Amino acid sequence: MDVVAATLYCVATPIGNLGDLTARAAQVLEQVDTIYAEDTRVTQRLLTHLGIQKPLVSLHDFNESQRIDSVLEALHKGQTLALVSDAGTPLISDPGYKLVREVSQSGFNLVPIPGVSAVIAALSVAGLPTDRFSFEGFLPAKNSARLKVLESLKHDTRTLVFYESCHRIEETLTALAEVFGLEREVVIGREITKAYETFYRGTLSALLQVVALDDNIKRGELVVMVAGNHHIDEKTSASLEASTIVKVLLEEELPVKQAASIAARLTGQAKNELYRLALSLSRGD
């Protein structure tokens, strides 16, 4: 393929095994004028492996905003550029979204060159439901903030996917167990596509024991996948039932006050709460 002038290519690179780079990605990297990389040293190793020599410019969390003008200037001149992260698909828990947004708003071409993503690679062998999943990136480093985020996800029925540092995996599993319960199913992918690729499977209780006994899980890059919550408690179930009843009554064109009153008699829930719910539903909130 031939690259197109005044275009920014977002190129996925290997997450470990260099053989995972697509032929199309290699062609793009060989033809562009400049490559913007999260860490130029990491990308230089990939280019050396490919036998490619190209100008490399750093673009990371701390300088992304300052790089935007130079990127737009290069595109105005008709140059062809590539954006890569250290590993995997750009912008997936990596810098670049500010740049991509500005390039798009300025009217220049943006072309994705797909390839490896640790999230997708991990999910493909997790054995957890993937018809719906939520990628949550990295959890906060501070325990209080981490617990707050997990509390907001406690009742989510989708498979939850997190990136995590090997240095924090024990703290993260402990927080998950505290909020989700010891019996929630979890799968951890370590060093995916690399020589020591390993997958750990079991309940949070079981994997907390693994962390305590196996130091290997505390090395390398980790993807943590947690089964969704499929055990709705009685309070949540009652709330969902009441909401359904109110919605049906409103669809029958009953007044808000009457719909709330009937739902309260049927469910035993407080009339004032159901009135607020009915009012919200009637407004389309």
Residues 242, 222: one domain? no
Give the pLDDT mean for 153-158.
92
Answer yes or no: is 2 within a domain. Answer: no
Residue 16 lies in a domain: yes
Which structural domain, as residue segments, surrounds residue 134?
119-226
Dihedral (Cα; 103, 106, 108, 113), 10-degree rounding:
20
My answer on whether 240 and 204 are in the same domain is: no
* pTM for the model: 0.79
167 part of a folded domain:
yes
In a shared domain, residues 87 and 98? yes
Residue 57 inside a domain? The answer is yes
Q: Please say which residue of 100, 116, 132 terminates a domain.
A: 116
Count of domains forming the chain? 3
Read off the pLDDT of residues 179-222 as tens digits, 9 standing for 90 and up: 999 999 999 999 999 999 999 999 999 999 999 888 889 888 99
Strand extents, DSSP E, 85-184: 109-113, 133-138, 159-165
Mean pLDDT of 38-59: 97
Of the residues 83, 116, 149, which one is the last residue of a structural domain?
116
CATH number (domain holding residue 164): 3.30.950.10
Q: What is the CATH number of the domain that holds 37?
A: 3.40.1010.10
Tens-digit pLDDT profile for residues 76-96: 999 999 999 999 999 999 999
Alpha-carbon distance of 120 to 95, in angstroms, equals: 19
- In this structure, the answer to whether residues 68 and 138 fall within a common structural domain is no
Is 36 in contact with 83 (CB distance < 8 Å)?
yes
Q: At residue 153, does pLDDT exceed 80? A: yes
On the question of pLDDT at 240 being above 60, the answer is: no
136 within 8 A of 225, measured Cβ to Cβ: no
Q: What is the pLDDT of residue 62?
A: 95
pLDDT at 285: 58
Domain boundary among 226, 244, 271: 226
Q: Judge contact between 187 and 167, C-beta under 8 A.
A: no
Indicate whether 136 and 105 sit together in one domain.
no
Q: For a pLDDT cut of 90, what percent of the chain falls above it? A: 76
* CA–CA distance, 81 with 6 (Å, rounded to integer): 8
Same domain? 127 vs 218: yes
Q: Are residues 22 and 75 in the same domain?
A: yes
Is 261 inside a domain boundary?
A: yes
Q: What is the pLDDT of residue 233?
A: 52
Say whether both 12 and 62 belong to one domain: yes
C-alpha pair distances (Å), 80 with each of 54, 73, 250, 280, 284? 12, 11, 56, 51, 47
Indicate if 26 and 112 belong to the same structural domain.
Answer: yes
Among the listed residues 225, 204, 200, 203, the one whose alpha carbon sits nearest the alpha carbon of residue 133: 225
Other beta carbons within 10 angstroms of residue 253's beta carbon come to 7
Residue 105: strand pairing partners: none
Query: Does 208 fall in a domain?
Result: yes
Q: Is residue 180 part of a domain?
A: yes
Residues 209 and 108 in one domain: no
Domain assignment of residue 1, yes or no: no
